């Protein structure tokens, strides 16, 4: 049985390549059919904000890649409720993401064999 891996993505989408590079680990894991989860925490929740305009920053949009996650076999998608509330986010551009409380996140992290925080 393969080991499970949780990626905790903590960076805003336009603060550098970190959010994209965290997502790339997840997509690669999905391509190898590995049990992989993705948690958006702290500024990472900004990746799920609606109506982002990447073009205005001469960047590429991450949202399309995020939407593709379930197609890549990545269905364990989570978002920290406290982080999004603190940042005034309501509703997420990723309908599949499950909103978790702080105690639920503790349980979630425990459930995975390995964790990478980026």
Partner 1 sequence: MHAVLLIESAMKFAIALFSAAHAPSSRRALLFAQAALAGGHEIVRLFFYQDGVYNASASVVTPQDELDVPRQWRAFVTDHQLDGVVCIAAALRRGVLNEEEAKRYQRDAVSAGAPWELSGLGQLHDAVQDADRLICFGGA
Instruction: Please report, as ranges, the residues that interact with partner 1 according to CB under 8 A.
Output: 2-3, 5, 10-11, 17-18, 21, 24-25, 28-29, 32, 34, 114-118
Strand-pairing partners, residue 98, are: 78
DSSP code string of 15-33: SSTHHHHHHHHHHHHHHTT
- Minimum distance of partner 1 from residue 30's CB (angstroms): 10
- Minimum distance of partner 1 from residue 92's CB (angstroms): 20
Q: Which CB sits closer to partner 1, 3 or 51?
A: 3
Report the distance separating Cα 6 and Cα 77, nearest Å: 10
Q: Which CB sits closer to partner 1, 16 or 101?
A: 16
Q: Which CB sits closer to partner 1, 18 or 63?
A: 18
Contact between residue 114 and residue 3 where contact means Cβ atoms under 8 Å apart: yes
């Amino acid at each position: 049985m393969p080991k499970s891996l949780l990626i905790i993505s903590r960076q805003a989408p336009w603060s550098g390549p970190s959010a994209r590079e965290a997502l790339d680990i997840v997509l690669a894991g999905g391509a190898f059919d590995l049990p992989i989860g993705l948690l958006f925490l702290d500024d990472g929740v900004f990746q799920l904000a609606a109506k982002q305009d990447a073009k205005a920053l001469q960047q590429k949009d991450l949202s399309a890649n995020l939407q593709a996650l379930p197609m890549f076999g990545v269905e364990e998608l989570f978002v920290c409720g406290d982080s999004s509330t603190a940042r005034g986010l309501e509703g997420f551009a990723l309908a599949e993401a499950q909103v978790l409380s702080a105690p639920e996140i503790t349980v979630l992290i425990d459930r995975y064999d390995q964790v990478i925080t980026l």
